[in-house]
């Protein structure tokens, strides 16, 4: 069997040998010299040979038969033949022979070189022309080289490096289009595939790869760079991204494929490549001090960093790294550690380059740069929704699309960790670069690969921290980093841990940058916030909770910058409002049919399709304004209203400027040229004070006048006219901007555009009014309240806008008129108010027919709420003609018919009577007695609601019961009855009774005598109403003269009421009247009693207001605020809490400090000091027996002023003029001798001087903490520094009186130092008055000659300090010494406690500790602002209250949010209590009791003031109960 099997095998082998196919071609291909073969014949022969070779199989071919042909094919005649066809066929035959003869090529090395030279020089480059006649042969050669891998024979050729370089260059250049064929045909994908396969074969099968070839491969990745940016990445601008291709270049794809196909070999080659570049160049500065260039070191021996040329090459290499990470990250395994080493280089340029590179790699950003910023179009309509895909940027390219194939954090964890650590680099340039990188990493989700929660949190927190960095470049980079986020990413990523209102979130920190001290930062931050809210407005309107919590409060944060009173910031605020929050271009013109519509099914008009049928631009814009106002808090709304309130004023100013320019006539005025130029100069100078950079503003305005473009004048008139609708106004502004930009001086637009924004009817336009009115009638989507407020503001400040709508208003009033059984709609109140405001300015333009009058009477009789009656009467009486008087008589008769508390609609009728008494007193005079009887006997003098312990202190307007409303209207009726009297003498006769009623309400805390106990919230309302009505009466001179000094002092105490709402609303009303100049200057004194206001925000507003008014008076050369010092001393001398104890005086010192810190400047310091000094030359005009109080406070004020002067390093200039004091408060001294005695005597306690030093030191500490905590100028939280400890004893104190002994001061310092070394911690229980009998008191010695007994006492005190010992020989510290040591040693228990009190934060405000808690709150609110923080005059525009006409009664009272009590109730009792428990001292120093001199033993108990009887009715926040008892004793006489 075996033999049988073997025999066929032998036969088969023989058959195979016999079956070898030999080449049949036998025609000659070579020729002798001079006898060439014809080209046609040669081509035919070569074609035949090529076909035969192609058909042959390598396994069956007879290789020996090929040798002859092979030898002929490599002849020089064929390889160098001039005909391209011959070369093509020769090449095709050669590749076949190489294939058939593999693995042994029948050629010598020299012949192989000639063959591959033909391939590389002739055949392969010809592939780029697909229309070539022999393209088939060319492609055949390429495919054979790739498939058979005969290309590897090139490595056997000498100097193969040159051929390899030629191959790779040809492939990459050709595929990239460097060889463009005439036909324009594209090279097939099969060609690209085979070329790639050849390059992969050469890399993968070769022993090494020449560096020049690797350079060619690497260069392909730089094709991702935009054109023109190969030199430097920094040279490329955002516009160059439009030059990028939409797809990856073919050469780039080919190189990427090569790298990814041969990762191991390419990783080795690439690692060596970058090692040559990075290490060689960066190594030049590896050990150098990278900051050498910054410090300009002259050390020539120190190594330097890379030069400019080297750095340029390094940047190019790092750009390549970025792109390689996107394309083939696996080849960078050996390179990343090299880049990581650069992170720790000393040279800043290297660290910067490494930080930027690693950041881009993590984010998947390549050499083409980051992706274009997302489109945040605040003017787009419909607005972007969270579910919508972000609109594609027109410059989007695949090369700028972040791609990270691998997670950098996972593949290179150590390098990732080191990169994260660069956020705390000492160089701000590095921190800024890291911040930018962090933004891209977060916004791109690390190139789309994703981040872990921990890593994402790290970058988010880092971005937040960099927003508060101490370097502006870092803060600016952080703001710009947030600009790289899309709307969706901001909501879902940055706002995941908190929105714009949550402290500690990224968005909260971003909003803080709106107040950054650097203009570049705040401009970027505020513009970004404005765009974010504009884009988010659609989702906010739709009620998307995540968007609302994240971004809805942006307008509040933007508008609160108004309170900085910074002119530049105010201009920026207006720009952001009109360009981003509510852009002038919003909404765009309606789209044509077939345009994109909103996919949302929300019913609100913001999201409706933009078809022209239901596309009302004015309505859409008005709804955006309502949405804006809806999300403003109370302070932001005040700022919003203030900006709009001054718009009519500025429109007049700008209109006046245009008229002056027209008269100026481009420099050629007609008429009196001097007067015209002078008027223009005055107008320009007036405008300059409202804009920053006044010299530039003045120059721009003069350039505008010289430009003399009459069309521009007309355009400005269109823009500022209330008659222009929004479209007209907008077109006028657009055309003006274009004309100004085309002028010779376009820079003047920087001044004119803010003026136009400020003066034009942009938000409150007549085109929007109908929408506002429609929304005010309902509360759809919660916009009704905002619509009502806007309508109210328009009626107050822009009644002209109602001209085109007044007919509709009156029609609405007719349709909604109430009746006995019909209630009017609540929105009718705002309509009535609008008509009321309009009727004052245009009384004849309202209807006067009977039907309308009857409707007004119906509102006056049955309207709800009661103030609708007030507005109805105002409209009815606007004409002041006989018909209106007849209507008033008719109304009064109907009101007083069966009039009583229990009658229907009593409160409404009472409101109508109140307004009738004001506007038609002659008519109401006939029933005056009845009005008074009802107001007093039936309302004010009766209590119908039982008082309960559970009664709230304050309730909102909506919750007020009928009785409380009736009492408030009864009070207004009494005052209106008085104000309506035209006869001044008669009014003065009636006034005392009204003043007595109001005074009684203030003194008795809202409780009228001889009636039952009134509920707490009723008393609170009555106190507030009484105080505000007194202010209203005092706006009339003849009534103000009747307000006595004691009544004035009583009125001032309303600012310290226990109820926070009373304090706030009273102060706001006071500020309003003062700004309007309706009150005399003495009322400025009242505002300084807010020194202990516990509400920080409210107190800061008051301080801003004070500084603004002080600056205003300085500019108009009036010394109103300076003269207030004399009145303030008198007010404090008669304050119920006055006491001569040091702790009580320290309270008054804080009042003075509050005044000085907000009013005093170096220029007016002398005048203020003279007013304080002048008080000691007078006698108290209110109560002469209490004159010593004036002298004590005068000395206190002078002492504090001296210390303030030294603290500020001001030079003292004595005021040479005369100052006068009010006669009612002060009278002259009886004799010169008395004046001399008073002037020479010091009335201050001994220890007050040091206590004042401590007070000023504590103020410095609080200011420092505020500047660090709140960081108003962008300081970072991490830069907080602990306040330095004050040196004790050795540091010289501030100047005291004229007879200070320097020797004694130095001896006291030494004694203090000795005492601190030996004295244990002081026990508060051992404090006594002897502590204050130190030598410090003699620094304020009087000018009277000392007696011998005084000298003896001082001597014995000095001996007692060191000559007493106990039985064991230990020194005994006498009581006097303890006192001396504790006073002079700044580290004593008293000092420590005081600093702790002043620095304490809010404690636990238990119900039983209201007094203590309130005092802590009060002390916490020490003045923190720099007195140089001047405010703009624009703060004079009302921010705090709505403006009323002179004859209009009070509006409804807003209800501020509940807040802490001022907590200053019963201070004397609290002081006595806390003396026994000094560890829990309140924020103001508690009263330390003096021990009797006859009992000098240390164990003597402190003498406490007896606690006065508790009086439950007294709830005053700042009045002691002792003062209440004193008032009770004098109550009868005062009434």
**pLDDT score of 1250:** 87
Task: Give the residue among 903, 897, 895, 985 at the shortest CA–CA distance from 939.
Answer: 903
Is residue 1337 over pLDDT 90? no
Helical H segments across 631-748, by residue range? 634-645, 647-664, 673-688, 694-707, 710-720, 726-741
The helix/strand/coil state of 1525 is helix
Q: What is the average pLDDT across 637-647? A: 91
Among 93, 88, 21, which Cα is nearest to 53's?
A: 93
Query: What's the helix, strand, coil split of the chain in %, to 5?
Result: 65, 0, 35
Q: Are 1131 and 1085 spatial neighbours (Cβ–Cβ below 8 Å)?
A: yes
**Are 914 and 969 in contact, with CB atoms under 8 Å apart?**
yes
Q: Output 1191-1196 pairs: Cβ under 8 A, ≥24 positions apart.
A: 1191/1238, 1191/1241, 1191/1243, 1192/1133, 1192/1140, 1192/1145, 1192/1243, 1192/1244, 1193/1129, 1193/1132, 1193/1133, 1193/1148, 1194/1129, 1194/1243, 1195/1242, 1195/1243, 1195/1244, 1195/1340, 1196/1145, 1196/1148, 1196/1149, 1196/1152, 1196/1244, 1196/1248
- Would you give the DSSP letter of residue 1297? -
Q: How far apart are CA 123 and CA 118, in angstroms?
A: 6
b/e burial code for range 1330-1345 (CB count within 10 A of at least 16 → b): bbbbbbbbbbbbeeee
The string of pLDDT tens digits covering residues 676-715 is 999 999 999 999 989 999 999 999 999 999 999 999 999 9
| CA gap 1485, 1493 in Å, rounded | 23
pLDDT at 473 over 90: yes
pLDDT of residue 1509: 36
Q: Considering the chain, what is the average pLDDT of its residues?
A: 77
Whole-model pTM: value is 0.71
Q: Are 931 and 913 in contact (CB under 8 A)?
A: yes
The two tokens of residue 461 are 């927190």
For residues 7 and 911, the model is more confident at 911
What is the tens place of the pLDDT at every residue in 767-809? 888 888 888 877 777 888 888 888 888 888 888 887 777 888 8
pLDDT digits (tens, 9 = 90+) for 115-141: 888 888 888 888 888 888 888 888 888
pLDDT at 76: 83
Q: How confident is the model at residue 563 (pLDDT cuts 50, 70, 90)?
A: confident
Distance between CA atoms of 1442 and 1451, rounded to whole angstroms? 8
pLDDT at 1401 > cutoff 50? no
pLDDT at 1375: 37
Quote the pLDDT of residue 1372: 40
Q: Which of 548-557, 771-780, 1270-1279 has the weakest average pLDDT?
A: 1270-1279
Predicted local distance difference test score (pLDDT) of residue 1368? 41
Higher-scoring residue by pLDDT: 1018, 1327: 1018
**Residue 1488 or residue 128, greater confidence:** 128
From its phi and psi, is residue 768 left (phi > 0), alpha (psi between -120 and 50) or beta?
alpha
Give the mean model confidence (pLDDT) for residues 364-382: 88
- Is the per-residue pLDDT at 1390 higher than 80? no
Token pair in block for residue 531: 């765009």
- What pLDDT, on a 0 to 100 scale, did the predictor assign at position 1459? 40
pLDDT at 362 over 90: yes
Longest dimension (CA), the chain: 160
d(CA 1321, CA 1033): 58
The per-residue pLDDT for range 1082-1099, each reduced to its tens digit, is 999 999 999 999 998 899
Q: What is the pLDDT of residue 1000?
A: 92
Q: Which of 187-191, 439-443, 760-764, 1220-1224 is least confident? A: 187-191
Distance of CA 986 to the CA centre of its chain: 56
Contact 1181, 1226 (CB under 8 A): yes
Is 1322 or 11 the better-scoring residue by pLDDT?
11
What stretch of H or E contains 1285?
A: none
Return d(Cα 74, Cα 64) in angstroms, integer. 16
Distances (CA, A) of 967 to 907, 944, 1015, 1075: 9, 11, 12, 29
1495: pLDDT confidence band, cut at 50, 70 and 90? very low
Report CA torsion sign: 175, 178, 181, 182: positive
- Does residue 1008 surpass a pLDDT of 70? yes
Query: Could you report the per-residue pLDDT of 1093-1151, keeping only the tens digit for each?
Result: 999 889 988 998 999 899 989 988 899 999 999 999 999 999 999 988 888 888 889 99
74 vs 94: CA distance, rounded Å: 8
- Cβ contacts of 1034 within 8 Å, gap of 6 or more: 1040, 1043, 1079, 1080, 1083
- pLDDT at residue 917, rounded to an integer: 92
Q: Which of 839, 758, 752 is nearest to 802 (CA)?
A: 839
More confident residue, 519 or 800: 519
Q: Which of 85-99, 300-314, 767-781, 1397-1411 shows the lowest per-residue confidence on average (mean pLDDT)?
A: 1397-1411
* Of the candidates 1306, 1265, 1257, the residue with the CA atom closest to the CA atom of residue 1285: 1257
What pLDDT, on a 0 to 100 scale, did the predictor assign at position 393? 65
Cα–Cα distance measured from residue 400 to residue 393, given in angstroms and rounded to the nearest whole number: 11
Task: Answer with the residue of higher pLDDT: 455 or 178.
Answer: 455
d(CA 1461, CA 1413): 9
Exposure letters 1038-1067 (e unless 16+ CB within 10 A, then b): ebbebbebebbbbbbbbbbbbbbbbbbbbb
Backbone angles phi, psi at 1447, to 5 degrees: -100, 15
Q: What is the mean pLDDT of residues 1285-1299?
A: 35
As a whole number, mean pLDDT of residues 352-366 equals 92
pLDDT at site 475:
94
Distance CA 1131, CA 1358 (A): 41
Where does the pLDDT of residue 605 fall: very low under 50, low under 70, confident under 90, or very high at 90 and above?
Answer: very low
DSSP secondary-structure letter at 1179? E
d(CA 520, CA 511): 14
What's the confidence (pLDDT) of residue 1428?
Answer: 38
Which pLDDT value is given to residue 245? Answer: 64
Alpha-carbon 984 to chain mean position:
52
% of residues, the chain, pLDDT over 70: 75
Residue 1161 is encoded by which pair of tokens? 């400047």
For residue 1088, the model assigns a pLDDT of 95
Give residue 740's pLDDT.
Answer: 93
Q: What is the pLDDT of residue 1298?
A: 35
More confident residue, 1182 or 276: 1182
Confidence of residue 650 (pLDDT cuts 50, 70, 90): very high
* Cα–Cα distance, 1356 to 288 (Å, whole number): 71
Please state the rounded mean pLDDT for residues 1065-1082.
Answer: 93
* CA separation, residue 1426 to residues 570, 1104, 1267, 1477 (Å): 20, 10, 10, 35
């Amino acid at each position: 069997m075996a033999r049988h099997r073997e025999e066929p095998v032998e036969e088969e082998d023989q058959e195979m040998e016999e079956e070898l196919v030999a080449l049949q071609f036998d025609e000659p291909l070579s020729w002798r010299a001079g006898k060439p073969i014809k080209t046609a014949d040669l081509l035919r022969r070569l074609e035949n040979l090529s076909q035969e070779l192609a058909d042959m199989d390598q396994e069956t071919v007879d290789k020996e038969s090929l040798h002859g042909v092979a030898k002929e094919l490599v002849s020089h005649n064929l390889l160098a033949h001039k005909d391209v066809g011959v070369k093509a066929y020769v090449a095709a035959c050669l590749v076949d022979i190489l294939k058939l003869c593999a693995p042994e090529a029948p050629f010598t090395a020299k012949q192989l070189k000639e063959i591959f030279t033909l391939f590389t020089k002739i055949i392969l480059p010809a592939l780029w022309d697909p229309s070539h006649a022999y393209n088939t042969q060319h492609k055949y050669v390429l495919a054979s080289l790739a498939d058979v891998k005969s290309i590897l024979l090139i490595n056997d050729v000498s100097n193969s490096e040159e051929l390899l370089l030629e191959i790779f260059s040809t492939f990459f250049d050709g595929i990239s289009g460097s060889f463009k064929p005439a036909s324009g045909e594209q090279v097939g994908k099969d060609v690209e595939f085979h070329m790639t396969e050849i390059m992969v074969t050469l890399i993968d099968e070769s022993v090494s790869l020449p560096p020049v070839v690797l350079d060619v491969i690497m260069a392909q990745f730089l094709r991702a760079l935009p054109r023109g940016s190969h030199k430097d990445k920094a040279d490329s601008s955002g516009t160059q991204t439009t030059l990028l291709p939409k797809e990856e270049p073919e050469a780039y794809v080919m190189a990427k494929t090569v790298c990814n196909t041969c990762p191991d070999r390419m990783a080795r080659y690439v690692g060596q490549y970058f090692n040559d570049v990075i290490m060689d160049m960066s190594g030049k500065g590896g050990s150098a001090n990278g900051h050498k260039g910054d410090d300009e070191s002259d050390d020539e021996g120190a190594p330097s960093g890379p030069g400019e040329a080297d750095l340029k090459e390094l940047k190019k290499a790092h750009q390549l790294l970025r792109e390689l990470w996107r394309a083939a990250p696996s080849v960078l395994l050996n390179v990343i550690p090299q880049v990581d080493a650069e992170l720790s280089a000393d040279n800043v340029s290297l660290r910067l380059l490494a930080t930027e590179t690693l950041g881009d790699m993590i984010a998947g950003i390549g050499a083409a740069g980051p992706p274009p910023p997302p489109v945040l179009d605040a003017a787009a309509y419909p607005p972007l929704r969270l579910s919508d895909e972000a609109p594609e940027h027109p410059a989007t390219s695949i090369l700028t699309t972040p791609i990270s194939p691998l997670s950098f954090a996972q593949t290179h964890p150590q390098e990732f960790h080191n990169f994260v650590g660069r956020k705390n680099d000492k160089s701000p340039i590095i921190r800024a670069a890291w911040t930018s990188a962090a933004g891209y990493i977060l916004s791109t989700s690390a190139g789309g690969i994703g981040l872990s929660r921990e890593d994402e949190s790290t970058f988010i927190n880092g971005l937040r921290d960099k927003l508060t960095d101490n370097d502006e470049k870092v803060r600016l980079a952080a703001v710009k980093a947030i600009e790289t986020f899309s709307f969706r990413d901001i909501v879902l990523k940055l706002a995941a841990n908190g929105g714009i209102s949550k402290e500690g979130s990224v968005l909260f920190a971003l909003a803080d940058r709106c107040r950054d001290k650097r203009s570049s930062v705040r401009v970027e931050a505020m513009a970004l916030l404005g765009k974010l809210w504009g884009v988010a407005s659609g989702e906010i309107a739709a009620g998307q909770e995540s968007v609302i919590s994240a971004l809805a409060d942006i307008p509040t944060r933007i508008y609160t910058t108004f309170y900085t009173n910074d002119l530049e910031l105010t201009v920026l605020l207006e720009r952001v409002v009109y360009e981003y929050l509510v852009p002038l271009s919003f909404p765009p013109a309606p789209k044509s049919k077939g345009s994109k519509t909103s996919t949302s099914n929300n019913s609100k008009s913001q999201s409706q399709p933009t078809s022209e049928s239901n596309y009302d631009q004015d309505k859409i814009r008005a709804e955006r304004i309502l949405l804006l106002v809806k999300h403003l808090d109370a302070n932001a709304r005040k700022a919003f209203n203030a900006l709009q309130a001054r718009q009519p004023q500025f429109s007049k100013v700008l209109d006046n400027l245009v008229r002056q320019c027209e008269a100026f006539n481009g420099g050629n005025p007609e008429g009196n040229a001097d007067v015209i130029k002078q008027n223009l100069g005055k107008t320009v100078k007036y405008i300059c004070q409202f804009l920053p950079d006044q010299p530039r503003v003045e120059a721009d305005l003069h350039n505008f006048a010289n430009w003399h473009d009459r069309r521009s004048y007309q355009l400005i008139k269109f823009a500022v006219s209330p008659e222009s609708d929004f479209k007209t106004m907008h077109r006028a502004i657009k055309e003006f901007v274009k004309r100004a930009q085309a002028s010779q001086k376009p820079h003047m637009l920087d001044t004119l555009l803010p003026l136009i924004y400020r003066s034009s009817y942009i938000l409150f336009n007549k085109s929007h009014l109908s929408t506002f009115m429609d929304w005010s009638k309902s509360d759809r989507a919660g916009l009704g309240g905002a619509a009502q407020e806007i309508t109210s503001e328009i009626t107050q400040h822009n009644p002209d806008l109602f001209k085109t709508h007044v007919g509709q208003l009156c029609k609405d009033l007719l349709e909604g008129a109430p009746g006995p059984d019909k209630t009017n709609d609540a929105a009718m109140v705002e309509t009535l108010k609008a008509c009321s405001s309009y009727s004052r300015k245009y009384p004849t333009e309202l209807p006067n027919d009977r039907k309308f009058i009857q409707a007004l009477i119906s509102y006056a009789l049955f309207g709800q709420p009661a103030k609708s009656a007030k507005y109805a009467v105002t409209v009815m009486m606007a004409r002041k003609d006989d018909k209106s008087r007849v209507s008033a008589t008719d109304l009064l008769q109907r009101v007083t018919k069966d009039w009583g508390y229990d009658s229907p609609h009593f409160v409404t009728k009472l409101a109508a009577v109140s307004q009738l008494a004001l506007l038609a007193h002659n008519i109401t005079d006939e029933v005056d007695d009845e009005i008074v009887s009802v107001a007093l006997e039936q309302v004010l003098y009766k209590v119908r609601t039982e008082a309960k312990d559970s009664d709230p202190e304050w309730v909102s307007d909506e919750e007020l019961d009928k009785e409380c409303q009736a009492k408030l209207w009864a009070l207004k009726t009494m005052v209106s009855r008085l104000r309506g009297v035209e006869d001044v003498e008669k009014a003065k006769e009636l006034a005392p009774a009204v003043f007595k009623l109001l005074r009684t309400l203030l003194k008795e805390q809202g409780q009228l005598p001889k009636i039952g106990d009134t509920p707490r919230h009723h008393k609170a309302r009555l106190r507030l109403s009484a105080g505000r009505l007194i202010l209203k009466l005092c706006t009339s001179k003849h009534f103000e003269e009747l307000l006595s000094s004691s009544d004035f002092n009583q009125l001032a105490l309303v600012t310290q009421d226990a109820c926070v709402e009373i304090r706030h609303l009273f102060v706001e009303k006071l500020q309003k009247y003062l700004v309007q100049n309706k009150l005399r200057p003495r009322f400025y004194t009242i505002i300084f009693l807010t020194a202990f206001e516990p509400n920080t925000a409210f107190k800061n507003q008051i301080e801003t207001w004070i500084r603004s008014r002080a600056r205003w008076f300085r500019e108009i050369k009036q010394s109103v605020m300076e003269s207030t010092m004399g009145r303030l001393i008198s007010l404090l001398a008669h304050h119920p809490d006055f006491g001569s104890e040091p702790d009580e005086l320290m309270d008054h010192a804080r009042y003075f400090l509050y005044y000085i810190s907000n009013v005093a400047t170096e220029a007016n310091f002398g005048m203020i000091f003279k007013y304080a000094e002048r008080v000691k030359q007078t006698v108290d005009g209110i109560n002469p027996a209490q004159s010593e109080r004036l002298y004590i406070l005068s000395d206190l004020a002078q002492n504090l002023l001296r210390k303030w002067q030294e603290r500020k390093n001001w030079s003292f200039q004595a005021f040479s003029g005369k100052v006068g004091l009010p006669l009612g408060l002060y009278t002259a001294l009886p004799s010169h001798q008395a004046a001399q005695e008073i002037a020479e005597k010091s009335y201050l306690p001994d220890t007050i001087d040091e206590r004042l030093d401590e007070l000023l030191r504590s103020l410095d500490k609080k200011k420092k903490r505020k500047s660090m905590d709140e960081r108003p100028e962008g300081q970072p939280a991490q830069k907080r520094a602990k306040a330095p400890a004050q040196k004790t004893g050795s540091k010289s104190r501030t100047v005291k009186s004229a007879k200070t002994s320097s020797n004694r001061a130095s001896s006291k310092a030494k004694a203090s130092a000795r005492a601190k070394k030996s004295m244990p911690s002081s026990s508060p229980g051992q404090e006594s008055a002897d502590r204050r009998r130190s030598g410090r008191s003699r620094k304020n010695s009087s000018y009277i000659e000392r007696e011998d007994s005084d000298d003896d006492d001082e001597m014995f005190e000095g001996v007692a300090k060191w000559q007493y010992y106990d039985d064991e020989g230990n020194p005994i510290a006498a009581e006097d010494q303890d006192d001396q040591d504790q006073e002079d040693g700044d580290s004593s228990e008293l000092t420590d406690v005081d600093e702790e009190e002043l620095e304490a934060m809010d404690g636990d405000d238990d119900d039983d500790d209201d007094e203590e808690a309130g005092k802590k709150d009060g002390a916490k609110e020490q003045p923190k602002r720099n007195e140089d923080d001047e405010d703009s005059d624009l703060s004079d525009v009302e921010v705090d209250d709505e403006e009323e006409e002179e004859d209009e009664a009070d509006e409804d009272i807003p209800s501020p949010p509940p807040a802490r009590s001022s907590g200053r109730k019963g201070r004397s009792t609290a002081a006595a209590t806390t003396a026994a428990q000094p560890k829990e001292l309140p924020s103001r120093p508690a009263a330390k009791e003096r021990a009797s001199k006859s009992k000098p033993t240390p164990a003597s108990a402190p003498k406490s003031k007896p606690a006065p009887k508790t009086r439950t009715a007294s709830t005053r926040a700042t009045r002691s109960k002792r003062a209440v008892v004193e008032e009770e004793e004098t109550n009868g006489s005062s009434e």
